[in-house]
Chain A
């Protein structure tokens, strides 16, 4: 069957009434949780994972797609109205969006964000559908050493290429890799770092780690700042609709944002925030109203929001075709796949095409639902934003522990949750990024398997790893991704990189 037929088949799967309902629940929950201040898409997906535990794989992945897109949208709503971007990908949106909201133009800001997200999501999801089969074909010629090289590249870009310190990024990554060793070795069946504790034999759960580091670590961090003034929410005054001038100034940034965001998400280069910064810079240079930038320029909301969503769809390219998560959100989604025994990658396209294409199609549907749902419900989201901090964080911790208890109601698991929460808190205090830990934990065992297969084929000869041209090229890229930022930072040009920090998403 051709790609197009698969895609149509996926649409018919996603359009079944039950699946539509799952998608609707997903986008609603995703937006509701994503809009809460301080909760980014990664945490939204991790918190809502337990809701999907009892569904069939197709239904739960469809709900997942909705949660993912809903979480992204909710995050941008929060940053426009509250100016406390919980996720790094929304920082740029907050720059101009909050200024617009203060000037009483919060409605059009939210509208251009919503429609821009829709346009970008639509184009990027279609691009995903058409690119995926080619990458799958490419992936089939990859051997273990090429996979290993690709994972090393992903490790490096996620941990050290962006952010303010190579050292701290790499340290975070190695914390994740250390945690990944815990449990039964998949190839030899021997236990490692389990210290005779039965609960550790299965290793550390990705969702437990992600929830602990993001939800509990963040709550502890916010609590440790002591009493601060409540954040000011901008009321949405006037019409939420955009006028003709808004439309005229928005459509080009949407398209440019999509073109910038999608490739960056699709490359193993970390989260969505890089694209948003590049898009903002591009809009600032191209605008006919340079005086408005910094005071609420609609282009500065439209472009980065589109880039944000396009790169979110882009990160699904390596995730679905190669099984390679390049952001914390993708890592948690991979954990969601694994809970059904599904391993994303080229084989999944062959063995379970209905599922993959159903997921891609439901991304389109979720995208459309968000557009219909979000603008009318804006009043509800605003009310969610105004939950006082004590209740908000009490609720976050209840739901964070709920997921862990639901997955494994053991005291030991809750103890791990607390321990990793404290670790995440300490890492935040010292300025370590969190995402590399999560990516290291889930990608570590996969990289180890590929490495050991590659070394088994070469009979232990390490130099064979770089003897394939593709693998050698990927290793060179990985090396550059470590060295170039080190040089840039040494020459005092590190601010640009630290702005691009891939912290949350």
Chain B
């Protein structure tokens, strides 16, 4: 679903949207495969933990076929151009926070997220935004971890003060 969609004027088969149909059917297949092992373990009742997943899977297959049909007819709404650059910056920020959270603590990890997000929206001066982000995140950490007692992971920076 991450393919760059192109704007079309006429109703033609929508290639990007074609990915949706197999994705839905694949999800249905995963559900069916996963609950298959449940069906054998609960034969005493006509309905069990596998019943509703089966219904959902059938629904997904129907919707998948329907989506494929609409994509083929080009019925999906026109999409605006997608700028990939900023999206990559934001995803990089979220990934950086995820990876740094344990080793570096909340403030540093979230400061990176802050700076990379701002970068995605056009503030490119990372040498300035990263420190600003870390200071802001530290203030947030003090408020939420110390005053509201939320369990936000502390790192070297937090241990320096508390």
Residues of A within 8 A of B (CB): 50-51, 53-54, 164, 167, 170-171, 174, 177-178, 181, 185, 187-188, 190, 192-193, 195, 216, 219-220, 223-227, 389-391, 393-395, 397-398, 401-402, 405-406, 409, 411, 414-415, 417-418, 421-422, 425-426, 429-431, 448, 451-452, 455-456, 459-460
B47/A50 in contact, CB under 8 A:
no
Shortest Cβ distance from B97 into A: residue: A401
Q: Which of B16, B38, B137, B144 contacts A50 (CB 8 A)?
A: B144
User: Which of B17, B110, B133 lies at the interface centre, i.e. has the most chain A CB atoms within 10 A of its CB?
Assistant: B110
A397/B31 in contact, CB under 8 A:
no
Shortest Cβ distance from A411 into B: residue: B98
B129 → chain A closest CB, angstroms: 8
A393/B117 in contact, CB under 8 A:
yes
B136/A398 in contact, CB under 8 A:
yes
Task: Produce 1/0 per residue, B118-162, CB < 8 A to A.
Answer: 111111000000000100110010001000111111000000000
Nearest 3 CB-CB pairings of A with B: A460-B46, A223-B86, A226-B83
Q: Which of A167, A391, A397 contacts B94 (CB 8 A)?
A: A397
Shortest Cβ distance from A167 into B: residue: B66
Residues of B within 8 A of A164 (CB): 77
Residues of B within 8 A of A223 (CB): 83, 86-87, 89-90, 120-121
Q: How many of B's residues come within 8 Å of A, CB to CB?
A: 74
Residues of B within 8 A of A224 (CB): 82-84, 86-87
Q: Which of A170, A187, A409 contacts B153 (CB 8 A)?
A: A409
Tell me the interface secondary structure of chain B in the complex.
Answer: helix
B60 → chain A closest CB, angstroms: 5
A167-B66, A181-B52, A192-B38 known; A402 and B152 CB under 8 Å? yes
B2 → chain A closest CB, angstroms: 7
In the complex, whether B79 has a CB less than 8 A from a CB of chain A is yes
B140/A225 in contact, CB under 8 A:
no
Residues of B within 8 A of A188 (CB): 38, 42, 48-49
11 contacts between A and B (CB under 8 A): A174-B24, A177-B59, A224-B84, A397-B93, A402-B150, A405-B153, A411-B98, A414-B94, A414-B97, A452-B47, A460-B46
Q: Which of A390, A422, A455 contacts B117 (CB 8 A)?
A: A390
A430/B70 in contact, CB under 8 A:
no
Shortest Cβ distance from B52 into A: residue: A448
Residues of A within 8 A of B31 (CB): 178, 181, 193
B110/A402 in contact, CB under 8 A:
yes
B95/A418 in contact, CB under 8 A:
yes
9 further contact pairs, Cβ within 8 A, besides A393-B121, A455-B47: A170-B63, A178-B31, A190-B49, A398-B114, A398-B136, A401-B110, A417-B94, A431-B77, A452-B47
